[in-house]
Amino acid sequence: MKVLVIGSGYVGLVAAACFAEGGNWILGVDVDAAKVARLQKGECPIFEPGLEDLFRKHLEAGNLTFSTNLRDGIAHADAAFICVGTPQSEDGSADLKYVLAVASQIGEAMALRPKDSKPLIVVDKSTVPVGTAARVQAAIQASLQKAGTDRAFEVVSNPEFLREGSAIEDFLKPDRVVVGCQTHHAEAVMKALYAPFLEASKGKWFRMDPASAEMTKYAANAMLALRISFINEMARLAEGVGADIDHVKVAIGADHRIGPAFLNPGPGFGGSCFPKDLQALLRTGREHGEPLLTLAATVEANRQQKMVLLQKVKAHYGVVAGDPGPLKGKRLALWGLAFKANTDDIRESMALELIDGLIALGAEVVVHDFEAMPPVKAKIGDRVTYATSPMEAAAGADALLIATEWPQYKAADLEALAKALKAKVMFDGRNLFRPESMAKAGWTYHSIGRQTVFGA
Ligand SMILES: NC(=O)c1ccc[n+]([C@@H]2O[C@H](COP(=O)([O-])OP(=O)(O)OC[C@H]3O[C@@H](n4cnc5c(N)ncnc54)[C@H](O)[C@@H]3O)[C@@H](O)[C@H]2O)c1
Displacement of CA 189 from its chain's centroid (Å): 28
Q: How many angstroms separate the alpha carbon of residue 152 from the centre of ligand 1?
A: 26
Is 307-446 a CATH 3.40.50.720 domain? yes
Instruction: Give CA angle at 153 (149, 158), nearest 5°.
Output: 145
Residue 426, phi then psi, degrees to nearest 5: -135, 140
The pLDDT of residue 158 is 98
The pLDDT of residue 325 is 83
The pLDDT of residue 322 is 64
CATH of 2-208, one of 3.30.300.20, 3.40.50.1220, 3.40.50.720, 3.40.50.620: 3.40.50.720
**What does DSSP say about strands 64-67 and 153-157: parallel, antiparallel, or unpaired?**
unpaired
The pLDDT of residue 228 is 98
The pLDDT of residue 346 is 97
Task: Write out pLDDT tens, residues 123-167.
Answer: 999 999 999 999 999 999 999 999 999 999 999 999 999 999 999
Query: Is the beta carbon of 230 within 6 A of some atom in ligand 1?
Result: no
Q: In ligand 1, which atom is closest to the CA atom of 167?
A: 3
Q: How many angstroms separate the alpha carbon of residue 85 from the centre of ligand 1?
A: 3
Query: Is the beta carbon of 342 within 6 A of some atom in ligand 1?
Result: no
Architecture of domain 218-303: Orthogonal Bundle (1.10)
Whether 2-208 and 307-446 share one fold: the answer is: yes
Displacement of CA 80 from its chain's centroid (Å): 23
- Nearest alpha-carbon partner for 259 in 231, 288, 232, 218: 231
Task: Write out pLDDT tens, residues 285-294.
Answer: 999 999 999 9
Q: In ligand 1, which atom is closest to the CA atom of 86?
A: 41
C-alpha to C-alpha distance for 99 and 80, rounded to whole angstroms:
12
Query: Is the beta carbon of 86 within 6 A of some atom in ligand 1?
Result: yes
Task: Write out pLDDT tens, residues 208-267.
Answer: 999 999 999 999 999 999 999 999 999 999 999 999 999 999 999 999 999 999 999 999
| Residue 324 scores a pLDDT above 90 | no
Q: How many angstroms separate the alpha carbon of residue 125 from the centre of ligand 1?
A: 9
Q: How many angstroms separate the alpha carbon of residue 242 from the centre of ligand 1?
A: 44
Query: Is the beta carbon of 218 within 6 A of some atom in ligand 1?
Result: no
Query: Is the beta carbon of 30 within 6 A of some atom in ligand 1?
Result: yes
Min mean pLDDT across 320-324, 384-388, 397-401, 432-436 is at: 320-324
Query: Is the beta carbon of 12 within 6 A of some atom in ligand 1?
Result: yes
CB 382 within 8 A of CB 356: no
Burial of residue 451 (CB within 10 Å: 0-12, 13-18, 19+) is middle
Best of 13, 27, 30 for a ligand 1 pocket test (most atoms within 8 Å of beta carbon): 30
Q: In ligand 1, which atom is closest to the CA atom of 159?
A: 7
The pLDDT of residue 321 is 75
CA distances from 329 to 79, 171, 388 (A): 58, 47, 22
- Nearest alpha-carbon partner for 51 in 433, 374, 420, 342: 342
Model pTM greater than 0.75? yes
Task: Write out pLDDT tens, residues 98-108.
Answer: 999 999 999 99
Task: Write out pLDDT tens, residues 268-285.
Answer: 999 999 999 999 999 999
| Residue 455 scores a pLDDT above 90 | no
The pLDDT of residue 320 is 81
C-alpha to C-alpha distance for 339 and 346, rounded to whole angstroms:
5
Average pLDDT over residues 103-120: 96
Min mean pLDDT across 59-68, 211-220, 447-456 is at: 447-456
Best of 6, 8, 10 for a ligand 1 pocket test (most atoms within 8 Å of beta carbon): 10
| Residue 456 scores a pLDDT above 90 | no
| Residue 96 scores a pLDDT above 90 | yes
Query: Is the beta carbon of 274 within 6 A of some atom in ligand 1?
Result: no
- Going from N- to C-terminal start, the domains of the chain cover 2-208, 218-303, 307-446
Burial of residue 104 (CB within 10 Å: 0-12, 13-18, 19+) is middle
User: What positions carry a catalytic annotation?
Assistant: 273
**What does DSSP say about strands 425-428 and 25-29: parallel, antiparallel, or unpaired?**
unpaired
Q: How many angstroms separate the alpha carbon of residue 313 from the centre of ligand 1?
A: 36
Average pLDDT over residues 397-405: 98
Task: Write out pLDDT tens, residues 9-48.
Answer: 999 999 999 999 999 999 999 999 999 999 999 999 999 9
Q: Whose CA is nearest to atom 21 of ligand 1?
A: 9
